[in-house]
Structure 1
């Protein structure tokens, strides 16, 4: 009987920016035990956003133990584990002792902002873009098309790692001597569990230092920024044998069968297996992802080509557009007293027939693709004596949807897919007003699954598939449960056309502010 019991349960660990979650999932994709805990974020200076690796490790172990206890299971009853992690946050550590040189410098950190600006306007980068454009005109290669519009970003690892090498005492010397290594949260966690220095292709592609067109660490970037090559982890498949969680932690070894970046995991968790499948995660920020199949996407509007997953001979690519301010806007509205709880925003927005001509620009972190203006300001425009709290809330919610619409329109222009539906997940996807508006302005069906924990499901699915818990992706498609479908109302799409145009006019007023 023991072996049949062992085949039933998969653990899924998701180490996000704000929360660590662990779910124990059975063969029918039911969560039978779960635990979560907030991540302690450190702000040592303005613009610096860090996480203490030791504290994070303690949190992860505690959450995993709590999830096992909640499921009333022992570690030896867990078939395998899948791991999903935030992208772009990294630390460096000593290869021999395992001791880290500094805290995780997270993807939200802005300490390298001036370096990003200086490099983007430098003759070196201008020369790189011009050279890539010339090579694209000759060869027609998408890789050179992507290079012709290449811009460094704060969310990428590149210049924050460069900063660390120049500013963390002893790190550069240790790196040059082959003792220091670097890695994201996934890489560091796998090292802590197994002693291996590896990362999967999806996590590597999110660093900005990995070339998705050649599927290798980008030699040009390593040379240009003088980064020691042996600091970099080996890039491996997304699912397979990563080693085991050691026995001393939970009383039995647990095979690690999947490790991947959170947005790639949520794409797989939403069963977006086919080219052209579109998934949107609405959490702290919004991430719009399309499965582009076996071809990486080259974008002129700032959409980003990433690796979704690599499984042996199969490499699936993703194009991503992001808007960094979503749930953070609703939390801000709560913090200044416009709302009491996020749950009330949908009904508040529906309580008025429109926003009374008020427009909100959601740019606390600037405006990402396709606007690409990190100097944009956030704020309301056209507030009147008749504007109520409900009008302000509605304008905030509308602005989040309008940002998604801009990304979607870029996808329509740049890709050859015909889109029919949007699969949504994340905390903000529970807002019915926004989901109906998203359906109306895009003209697509919006499909909300019962589970909003898509990253958890994604790594559980891939780990379980590689260990025989599930036999095929078709079986997973059958197990997907939809909670609600929002169908577009054509007349609303026409009504909103003028509103969206005016909102875009308002955006122009807030651009290039700082």
Structure 2
């Protein structure tokens, strides 16, 4: 037992806290998980109680130690993976939070988003950046020329909090406020240090990926106090510190903190430029490792940091649709299906969707269309339409959305790709993955454990730092493929006209809420 090295991996997902203990072979030897409740104090508001989350994190970790019999002192290092862009603020003197965690799904700043995107100030920023880029060809100005606020970014939700939470306003004037996403909040509770890694910072909309620090431009424009932001550090290292002894009885070194999609990219073995993975969970995230090159996209793709480990800086291109998990849950709620697994048989019970198309736009249509006023719904329903046609259309829409992002990545980058690695709950659906292989023409590889990639990612990064593994080649060998889906060119040709009709459906449902008002 004394020669065994264990790595702890903590993962905070959309509604779940998970903790795994992994051995040197990358196997989970013990784990626990519990769901937490999202709060909806008003329509469009989505919150998490920070104290409840912290208590649940400690409980889940203790449960794992207790039930497995593995002492906390045997944990060589801890890695933390967290959902991005969910934040809170707290008092630097007391540690007490000023408001609940405002999650990435929250829409309270929607009016601010509309106002800022149509403001003369934002338009001036875009026009000015475009002119500067014309003369100097600097990529940062090309990126700013397409600047647009979104609800998913923290930017205007933080501004909303500063404008609407009175105690936060008062203490900000006294410089008593700290801001952080879930990663920063947990690090503060674990170690007392106020910091974040580059992968979490880069997703906020308040980070300058060229200077690799918080954006002084955005702070100046929005008048957000600079002193509230955490220190930005590497994804792994000794800088995170150790957990307070009174939590687990020993000090556990925190060796890694990482955003969930970056962790999933690493855990999926996408370690080289051009490697591609897709997470099909609460949302759909199409991520490509773009190496040490920051890709500037005017199509709405997100260009963020994957990880920075010493001298290695890896960027990541991302296309995201937020509504995949919502589609599945909605289908359950209205009685279309009982479980995700049965949708495969239902979809395959008919050979086509018979002219029925579904637009998955509960929170708008994402890149490359970027229409957040679009509506969700079915089109093409007739008197002979069956439930199977509608279920099939819903599953097809998941793949169609991925194909839109994939096509943009293909146009804007020049890497050769032969496979897609997939994870997330919806990746257990064979119908979706086979259609994905057919329409992209790429081999689709599903891992043996579809829910574990972010866990593996932070475990591998933490373990590399503390010497459990020597190099990335060692951890790459530990990834296990469960099933491979190979493309069928005949099916692709059959689907091409249907994809074009679906794109027409997107146009029909576009700008619905703008036109309605």
Deviations 1:310-359 (A, max 9, x none): 11221110011100111220111111001111110111111110011110
1:390 aligns with one of 388, 391, 407: 388
What is the Cα deviation at residue 33 of structure 1?
0.7
**TM-score with structure 1 length normalisation?**
0.98
SS in 1 for 2:278: strand
Q: 2:14 touches 2:282 (CA, 8 Å); kept in 1?
A: no
1:421 aligns with one of 414, 419, 422: 419
What is residue 258 of structure 1 aligned with on the other side? 256
Q: 2:362 touches 2:375 (CA, 8 Å); kept in 1?
A: yes
Structure 2 counterparts to residues 325-344 of structure 1, below 5 A: 325-344=323-342
What is the Cα deviation at residue 409 of structure 1?
0.3
What is residue 469 of structure 2 aligned with on the other side? 470
What is the Cα deviation at residue 67 of structure 1?
1.7
Q: 2:350 touches 2:389 (CA, 8 Å); kept in 1?
A: yes
What is residue 196 of structure 2 aligned with on the other side? 199
CA distance in 2 between counterparts of 1:403 and 1:71 reads: 42
Structure 2 counterparts to residues 5-84 of structure 1, below 5 A: 5=4, 7=5, 9-84=6-81
What is residue 230 of structure 1 aligned with on the other side? 227
Q: 1:33 touches 1:69 (CA, 8 Å); kept in 2?
A: no
What is the Cα deviation at residue 247 of structure 1?
2.1
CA distance in 1 between counterparts of 2:65 and 2:374 reads: 46
**For structure 1, which runs of at least 5 residues remain unmatched after alignment?**
none
What is residue 440 of structure 2 aligned with on the other side? 442
**TM-score with structure 2 length normalisation?**
0.98
1:118 aligns with one of 115, 119, 125: 115
What is the Cα deviation at residue 102 of structure 1?
0.7
CA distance in 2 between counterparts of 1:185 and 1:350 reads: 41
Deviations 1:199-232 (A, max 9, x none): 0000000110001122111111000000111001
CA distance in 1 between counterparts of 2:148 and 2:376 reads: 23
CA distance in 2 between counterparts of 1:413 and 1:421 reads: 17
What is the Cα deviation at residue 510 of structure 1?
0.5
Structure 1 residue 497 corresponds to structure 2 residue 488: no
What is residue 310 of structure 2 aligned with on the other side? 312
Structure 1 residue 128 corresponds to structure 2 residue 156: no
CA distance in 2 between counterparts of 1:297 and 1:48 reads: 33
SS in 1 for 2:149: coil
CA distance in 2 between counterparts of 1:399 and 1:140 reads: 38
Structure 2 counterparts to residues 220-369 of structure 1, below 5 A: 220-241=217-238, 242-369=240-367
Structure 1 residue 400 corresponds to structure 2 residue 398: yes
Structure 2 counterparts to residues 180-199 of structure 1, below 5 A: 180-199=177-196
CA distance in 1 between counterparts of 2:499 and 2:163 reads: 45
1:137 aligns with one of 134, 147, 169: 134
What is the Cα deviation at residue 384 of structure 1?
1.6
SS in 2 for 1:494: helix
CA distance in 1 between counterparts of 2:211 and 2:493 reads: 44
CA distance in 2 between counterparts of 1:510 and 1:81 reads: 46
Deviations 1:63-96 (A, max 9, x none): 1111223332111111111000011011110111
Deviations 1:24-73 (A, max 9, x none): 11111111111111121110111111111011111111111112233321
**For structure 2, which runs of at least 5 residues remain unmatched after alignment?**
none
Runs of at least 4 residues off by over 2 Å: 69-72
Report the more deviating stretch, 244-253 or 77-86. 244-253
CA distance in 2 between counterparts of 1:238 and 1:299 reads: 24
SS in 2 for 1:138: helix
Q: 1:326 touches 1:400 (CA, 8 Å); kept in 2?
A: yes
CA distance in 2 between counterparts of 1:70 and 1:492 reads: 49
What is the Cα deviation at residue 176 of structure 1?
2.6
SS in 1 for 2:494: helix
SS in 2 for 1:213: coil
What is the Cα deviation at residue 173 of structure 1?
2.6
2:95 aligns with one of 73, 93, 98: 98
CA distance in 2 between counterparts of 1:331 and 1:154 reads: 21
What is residue 481 of structure 1 aligned with on the other side? 480
Q: 1:24 touches 1:71 (CA, 8 Å); kept in 2?
A: no
SS in 2 for 1:401: helix
RMSD: 0.9
What is residue 429 of structure 2 aligned with on the other side? 431
CA distance in 1 between counterparts of 2:216 and 2:485 reads: 46
What is the Cα deviation at residue 135 of structure 1?
1.3
CA distance in 2 between counterparts of 1:52 and 1:400 reads: 31
